[in-house]
Amino acid sequence: MKERGQWGSRLAFVLAASGSAVGLGNLWKFPYLAWRFGMSEGGTGAGGFVFVYLLSVLLVGLPVMVAEIVIGRLGRRNPVGSFEVLRPKTKWKYVGVLGVVTGFLIMSYYCVVAGWSIEYVAKSIAWEFGGYDTFITDKEALQHVWEKEGKGESFEAFASKLQAKQDLETILRETKLQIFPERLFQDFISSPAKLVFYLFVLIALTALVVLGGIKKGIERWNKILMPALLLIMLILVARAVTLPKGGQALEALLYPDLSSVGFDTVLWALGQAFFSLSLGMGAMVTYGSYMRREDKITPSALMVSLVDTLIALCASFVIFSSIMSYNIQLKGGGIGNLFTAIPAIFIHMPMGRALCILFYFLVAFAALTSTVSLLEVVASYFIDQRGMDRRKSVILSSTGIFVLGVPCALSFNLLKDVTFFSKTFFDLLDFLCANIALPLGGIFLCIFAGFVLKHEEVKKELFELSSGAVLVWRFLVRFVAPAAIFCVFLGLIMGRISA
């Protein structure tokens, strides 16, 4: 077998795996879910959701992550190869195949949105958001207010009433500030050429990192991008603390009010934990396969889960405190909010421009370190299983991802009306991957690690744990995690979860 790459240190693994875990899921999906389950329509706080999420990470996410790393380091291959090495001539390798295919699919739609962050770095440097007064007329703003509050009145009657108001200036300004980022976003995503271009840029950047290999590519870039990401997050948090509603936001996020927790909360929190920790498709198997024999798996997995959770909480805090301080409206659950509500917030804020630039860098870095892990899963399959060299494998995988990515990008414009089960191509892929393929892969990974691998095999890898602790982990992986994931499936079938 060819010489395989290896991380240079335990920290390198922790940074790379945290890079995979921290992504759009943390920056948008988690804050949005916390808001939806705790703050919308008279909600009393998101602490209940956060509490359930923490439990899901601890009881399900963490044990599954350990299981994936164990499988990877034992097998020393990509997900397909690892299963093949560990249990040759069995059907287990198909769990790996499911993982590699899922990685390929996630990458092709994830890169579309990740690419938007680059355009938004540019937009915030040029401070396009500042043009709200030039590009939105007073009449348009009035019309917007009328559509929202007019209630059957004619536009003229409503407008003259509004024009007589003392705070007309403020109303118009606030309305323009709301409409303008949305207008910019709609203009942007309705351009097929731009979306395909940024998709290409993001895939190309990812490919460049992965081409460098484990130490000189993935490790090196994660060592730069992850500390930068943490620093940016720190600056944003420092700003959010000093906003008028900073304290209230913190309380809304952390005070565990369990009265608001229902079955739905549990299902969503669990699904989110899975996606956010990059579990169920072999990303951690692959990264684990490059881990040095002497490095301890459990403390590393603990660190990764901690970083991932902290970033999700910080992002929520920044977003909560801004939304509450500036009274910004969220539109539905879509990822679009990341590109409409966020600029609206920064326009209001002193030092908003600089912070906005930092914010979109944060999004870009977080997304890139995640796409790197996705591409590595696919590329390592071709390297290990098909004997390709890294260069050829990366080029082949990225080309395939781009080809599938194009219809995903176009589902925001040209293919907007082409739907399957009333979902666009983009939404359909997201649903199939995040809600079906990842949990399914997760259950199989648990069964394999819990029942198929022998106690001695696992004990050797988890040398840092006492026999008792290994047994606790086994119990979680054998029973708790699969049962919990199975409930997510049931919820899906019963229609309690929709995409």
Q: Between 52 and 106, whose beta carbon lies closer to ligand PHE?
A: 106
- Considering only residues 351-390, where is the footprint of ligand PHE by CB under 6 A? 370, 373-374
Q: Between 141 and 203, whose beta carbon lies closer to ligand PHE?
A: 203
Per CB under 6 A, 141 contacts ligand PHE: no
CA geometry: angle at 43 spanning 42 and 46, to 5°? 155
Q: Between 31 and 45, whose beta carbon lies closer to ligand PHE?
A: 31
User: Do residues 198 and 367 touch, judged by C-beta distance below 8 A?
Assistant: no
- Residue partners of 174: CB distance under 8 A and separation at least 6: none
Give the torsion sign (CA, 481, 486, 491, 492): positive
Q: Between 68 and 462, whose beta carbon lies closer to ligand PHE?
A: 68
Give the torsion sign (CA, 35, 50, 238, 358): negative
**Among 39, 46, 64, 106, which residue sits at the site for ligand PHE (rule: CB under 6 A)?**
106
**What's the min distance (Å) between Cβ of 470 and ligand PHE?**
26
User: Do residues 348 and 367 touch, judged by C-beta distance below 8 A?
Assistant: no
- Considering only residues 180-219, where is the footprint of ligand PHE by CB under 6 A? none
Distance of CA 48 to the CA centre of its chain: 21
**What's the min distance (Å) between Cβ of 375 and ligand PHE?**
10
Rounded distance, CA 486 to CA 307, Å?
A: 27
**What DSSP character marks residue 260?**
G
**What's the min distance (Å) between Cβ of 289 and ligand PHE?**
15
Quickly count: other Cβ atoms within 10 Å of residue 471's Cβ: 12
**What's the min distance (Å) between Cβ of 102 and ligand PHE?**
8
492's enclosing H/E stretch is helix 481-493
Q: Between 278 and 316, whose beta carbon lies closer to ligand PHE?
A: 278
Q: Between 142 and 229, whose beta carbon lies closer to ligand PHE?
A: 229
**Among 12, 15, 16, 21, which residue sits at the site for ligand PHE (rule: CB under 6 A)?**
21
**What's the min distance (Å) between Cβ of 114 and ligand PHE?**
9
Q: Between 206 and 278, whose beta carbon lies closer to ligand PHE?
A: 278
| Tokens (6 digits) for 69 | 């790393």
Rounded distance, CA 303 to CA 309, Å?
A: 10
Per CB under 6 A, 275 contacts ligand PHE: yes
Q: Between 118 and 283, whose beta carbon lies closer to ligand PHE?
A: 283
51-90: b (≥16 Cβ within 10 Å) or e: bbbbbbbebbbbbbbbbbbbbbbbbbbbbbbbbbbbeeee
User: Do residues 433 and 105 touch, judged by C-beta distance below 8 A?
Assistant: yes
**Among 5, 19, 25, 61, which residue sits at the site for ligand PHE (rule: CB under 6 A)?**
25
What string marks each residue from 1 to 20 as x (binds ligand PHE by CB under 6 A) or -?
A: -------------------x
User: Do residues 368 and 206 touch, judged by C-beta distance below 8 A?
Assistant: yes
Q: Between 34 and 179, whose beta carbon lies closer to ligand PHE?
A: 34
**What's the min distance (Å) between Cβ of 171 and ligand PHE?**
38
Beta pairing partners, 419: 424
What string marks each residue from 232 to 271 as x (binds ligand PHE by CB under 6 A) or -?
A: ----------------------------------------
Q: Between 26 and 411, whose beta carbon lies closer to ligand PHE?
A: 26
**Among 78, 108, 278, 300, which residue sits at the site for ligand PHE (rule: CB under 6 A)?**
278
Looking up tokens 């995903």, which residue turns up? 408
**What's the min distance (Å) between Cβ of 130 and ligand PHE?**
30
- Residue partners of 381: CB distance under 8 A and separation at least 6: 78, 79, 80, 81, 100
User: Do residues 276 and 31 touch, judged by C-beta distance below 8 A?
Assistant: no
- Considering only residues 282-301, where is the footprint of ligand PHE by CB under 6 A? 283
- Site size for ligand PHE (CB under 6 A): 15
Residue 420 phi, psi (nearest 5): -125, 125
**What's the min distance (Å) between Cβ of 190 and ligand PHE?**
25
| DSSP per-residue letters across 100-135 | HHHHHHHHHHHHHHHHHHHHHHHHHHHTGGGGHHHH
Q: Between 26 and 265, whose beta carbon lies closer to ligand PHE?
A: 26
**What's the min distance (Å) between Cβ of 466 and ligand PHE?**
31
Residues forming the site for ligand PHE (CB under 6 A):
20-21, 23-26, 106, 275-276, 278, 281, 283, 370, 373-374
